[in-house]
């Protein structure tokens, strides 16, 4: 007589069914269907009910159960990829003890996750770097006055980085991130990589801004120059834009120089001199001229000459690279040379070094006589006014002095004059009538 095998207990049936449902999870490169994912969790629920009922469970049964649970945990990402478990927990009032309904909050056993510790570390380091960059950018952009665009850009960058920090460090934010990934059907084993990639993109965005400070500085300088030179100048706003340009790039010598000219217009001479001095220390030739002019006006002829001699040295350096300059740069260099030698001759004249004054003024006169350059000099007649005064001081009846007074009168008519040049023009009219 053949013996019948004992009928399996409800616990064994539930365990076997649970084991069979898990087989589908282990099919390589297979995304399971939503219904099957629910079937696996329901099978684990049914198994747990049988476990709760049983008064005594064999050790072998426990060993099989632990092995099957390990299989489920290892493939958890496949379930969280197709199910929003948080939504099911809320609807079904799942107990905290039913860990299989919390697979989205457990660490995956996917092979890609073995490097998660490194990715997390790099992400946190990048977050710190991002906040450092945001601080530096905010200081520069908001330092010279701020507009809605600048404030908006800084707030946006800060908001994204703060959001990332909360996602990285708080459980509540992690749950929100997981929900979003589930809706996008992105596997759990990519979560850390996605957060790192997002942090890295923000890092690239911030470093691009940081490395392009000179570009933004040029933009604000050009905008300030437009405001300063338009038909109805807005000097207050132009000043803010110049200051912002300087905050973004302290080596923007043109911004320092043009801010100094703005302060001159506002009769803020102390600040004008400070900005001229910064530009001059950086080798900006026009700043040497303008600062020397103020020294000459204040009877600091020695200081003016020292500056102008440095200007001459810079001219000599540029002359060595003359073949590398374009026509506009060569023209600008000629105008700068005129101003350097005209002011140097003026300072020497005030020191009563007449022969030295004549040598320097003669060089400037040669440049002012060039019709191609003359139109770009603010007042080409000024040097002839000075030369006439030098000649007249040597000989009050000098015919050559009178000729220079006449040329001064001719070339100064209709030009923008400073206080001294206006006096020289008045003297030129007086001398022409004699």
**pLDDT tens by residue, 296-324:** 999 999 999 999 999 999 998 888 888 88
Residue 382: the pLDDT is: 94
Percentage of the chain modeled with pLDDT above 90: 37
Q: Out of 46-50, 129-133, 338-342, 359-363, which region has the weakest mean confidence (pLDDT)?
A: 129-133
Residue 248 inside a domain? The answer is no
Residue 92 inside a domain? The answer is yes
| Whether residue 94 sits in one domain with residue 151 | no
- Report helix, strand and coil shares of the chain as percent, to nearest 5: 80, 0, 20
pLDDT confidence band for 353 (50 / 70 / 90):
very high
Summarize the confidence of residues 204-210 as an average pLDDT: 86
Residue 237 inside a domain? The answer is no
Closest CA relative to residue 221, chosen from 330, 144, 113: 144
Report d(CA 111, CA 297) in Å as an integer.
79
Residue 345: the pLDDT is: 95
Summarize the confidence of residues 271-291 as an average pLDDT: 91
Chain CA centroid to CA 228, Å? 25
Run of H or E including 143? helix 116-143
Report d(CA 371, CA 377) in Å as an integer.
10
Residue 405 inside a domain? The answer is no
Summarize the confidence of residues 381-401 as an average pLDDT: 91
| Whether residue 132 sits in one domain with residue 89 | no
| Whether residue 143 sits in one domain with residue 62 | no
| Whether residue 128 sits in one domain with residue 98 | no
| Whether residue 145 sits in one domain with residue 70 | no
Report d(CA 288, CA 414) in Å as an integer.
26
| Whether residue 103 sits in one domain with residue 16 | yes
21-25, 114-118, 351-355: range with highest mean pLDDT: 351-355
Residue 166: the pLDDT is: 47
Tokens of 347: 């300072």
Residue 328 inside a domain? The answer is no
| Whether residue 69 sits in one domain with residue 20 | yes
Domain tally, the chain = 2
pLDDT confidence band for 187 (50 / 70 / 90):
low
Domain end (from 185, 211, 237) = 211
Domain end (from 109, 127, 154) = 109
**Residue 194: is its pLDDT beyond 60?**
yes
Which tops the pLDDT comparison, 335 or 56?
335
Report d(CA 129, CA 86) in Å as an integer.
33
Tokens of 297: 């006006």
Burial (0-12, 13-18, 19+ Cβ within 10 Å), 368: buried
Residue 203: the pLDDT is: 86
CA torsion angle for 283, 285, 288, 294 (degrees, to 10)? -140
| Whether residue 129 sits in one domain with residue 101 | no
Percentage of the chain modeled with pLDDT above 70: 84
Residue 110: the pLDDT is: 55
Residue 80: the pLDDT is: 79
Give me the domain span that covers residue 58. 10-109
Which tops the pLDDT comparison, 13 or 81?
13
**Residue 250: is its pLDDT beyond 80?**
yes
Domain end (from 158, 188, 211) = 211
| Whether residue 131 sits in one domain with residue 52 | no
């Amino acid at each position: 007589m053949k013996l019948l095998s004992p009928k399996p207990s409800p616990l064994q049936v539930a365990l076997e069914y649970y084991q069979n449902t898990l087989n589908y999870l282990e099919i390589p490169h297979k995304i399971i269907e939503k219904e099957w994912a629910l079937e696996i969790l329901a099978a684990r629920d049914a198994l747990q009910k049988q476990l709760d009922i049983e008064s005594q469970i064999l050790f072998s049964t426990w060993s099989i159960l632990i092995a099957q649970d390990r299989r489920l945990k290892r493939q958890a990402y496949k379930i969280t990829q197709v199910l929003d478990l948080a939504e099911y927990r809320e609807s079904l009032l799942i107990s905290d003890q039913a860990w299989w309904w919390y697979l989205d909050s457990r660490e995956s056993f996917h092979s890609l996750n073995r490097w998660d510790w490194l990715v997390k570390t790099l992400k946190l380091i990048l977050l710190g770097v991002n906040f450092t960059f945001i601080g530096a950018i905010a200081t520069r952009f908001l330092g010279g006055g701020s507009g809605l665009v600048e404030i908006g850009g800084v707030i946006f960058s800060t908001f994204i980085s703060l959001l990332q920090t909360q996602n990285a460090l708080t459980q509540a934010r992690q749950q929100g991130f997981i929900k979003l990934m589930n809706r996008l059907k992105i596997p759990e084993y990519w979560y850390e990589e996605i957060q790192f990639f997002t942090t890295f993109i923000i890092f690239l965005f911030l470093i691009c801004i940081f490395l392009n400070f000179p570009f933004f500085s040029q933009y604000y300088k050009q905008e300030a120059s437009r405001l300063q030179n338009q038909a109805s100048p807005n000097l207050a706003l132009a000043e803010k834009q110049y200051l912002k340009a300087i905050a973004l790039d302290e080596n923007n010598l043109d911004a320092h120089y043009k801010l100094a000219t703005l302060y001159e217009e506002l009769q803020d001479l102390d600040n004008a001199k400070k900005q001229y001095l910064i530009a001059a220390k950086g080798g900006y030739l026009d700043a040497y001229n303008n600062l020397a002019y103020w020294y000459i006006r204040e009877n600091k002829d020695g200081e003016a000459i020292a500056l102008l001699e440095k200007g001459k040295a810079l001219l000599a350096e540029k002359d060595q690279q003359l073949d590398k300059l374009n026509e506009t740069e060569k023209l600008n260099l000629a105008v700068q040379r005129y101003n350097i030698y005209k002011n140097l001759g003026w300072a020497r004249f005030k020191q009563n070094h007449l022969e030295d004054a004549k040598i320097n003024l003669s060089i400037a006169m040669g440049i002012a006589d060039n019709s191609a350059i003359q139109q770009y000099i603010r007042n080409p007649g000024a040097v002839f006014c000075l030369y006439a005064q030098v000649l007249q001081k040597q000989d009050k009846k000098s015919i050559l002095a009178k000729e220079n007074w006449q040329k001064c009168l001719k070339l100064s008519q209709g030009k923008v004059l400073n206080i001294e040049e206006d006096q020289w023009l008045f003297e030129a009219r007086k001398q022409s009538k004699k």
